[in-house]
Amino acid sequence: MNHYVLVLNCGSSSLKFSVVNPDNGDEPFKGIAERLNTNETGSLTIKTANSKQQTDLTPSTHEQALLEIVQALKNQGLAESISAVGHRVVHGGEYFSQSVVIDDSVRDKIADCIRLAPLHNPAHVTGIDAARKAFPNLTQVAVFDTAFHQQMPEKAYLYALPYELYQRHGIRRYGFHGTSFRYISAQLPQCLGIEKPKAVVCHLGNGGSLAAIDGDHSLDTTMGLTPLEGLVHGTRSGDIDPAIPTLLCQQNGMTPDSVSDLLWKQSGLLGLSGISNDCRTLEEALEQGNEAAQRAMHVYCYRLAKLIAAQVVALGGLDALVFTGGIGENSSYVRSQAVKALGFLGLHIDASKNDATIRGKQENIASAESLPIWVIPTNEEWLIAHDAHQLAQGKTL
Please list the active-site residues.
145
> What is the distance of C-alpha 101 from the center of its chain?
21
**φ/ψ of residue 78, rounded to 5:** -105, -15
**Dihedrals phi, psi of 179, to nearest 5 degrees:** -65, -45
Q: Which residues pair with 87 in a beta bridge?
A: 8, 142
DSSP symbols for 86-138: EEEES--TTT-SS-EE--HHHHHHHHHGGGT-TTTHHHHHHHHHHHHHHSTTS
List, edge to edge, every strand of the sheet that includes 4-10. 52-57, 42-48, 29-34, 14-20, 4-10, 82-89, 139-144, 100-101
Distances (CA, A) of 337 to 192, 315, 331: 24, 23, 10
Q: What is the CA radius of gyration of the chain?
A: 21
